Amino acid sequence: MAALPEDPRPKDPNQDTRLYLLLLTILISLVVVTGTIYLSYQHPRLATPIQTGGMVATVLMACAAVVIDRR
């Protein structure tokens, strides 16, 4: 039997797992960016803190985009 437009979508059994994985990824990314900013703040020779944090965040976002695109 064909699905009618008013039929509710079937519940995805992995939806909660994906949500928790997304939240965990965001949390780990924030910890990595914060650690990088702190490290560059303590050792200013490395680079300015804001530029370094932005660069790390950009790389992490690019990696996440590649992983999501491969799905």
Q: Are 33 and 27 in contact (CB under 8 A)?
A: no
**Token duo for residue 33:** 């960016």
Q: Are 28 and 63 in contact (CB under 8 A)?
A: no
pTM of the predicted model, to two decimals? 0.57
Window from 31-35, 52-56, 59-63 with minimum mean pLDDT:
52-56
Could you report the per-residue pLDDT of 42-60, keeping only the tens digit for each? 887 766 777 777 888 888 8
* Residue-range domain boundaries for the chain: 16-70
CA–CA distance, 36 with 59 (Å, rounded to integer): 13
Could you report the per-residue pLDDT of 1-25, keeping only the tens digit for each? 566 667 676 777 777 887 788 888 8
**pLDDT of amino acid 11:** 74
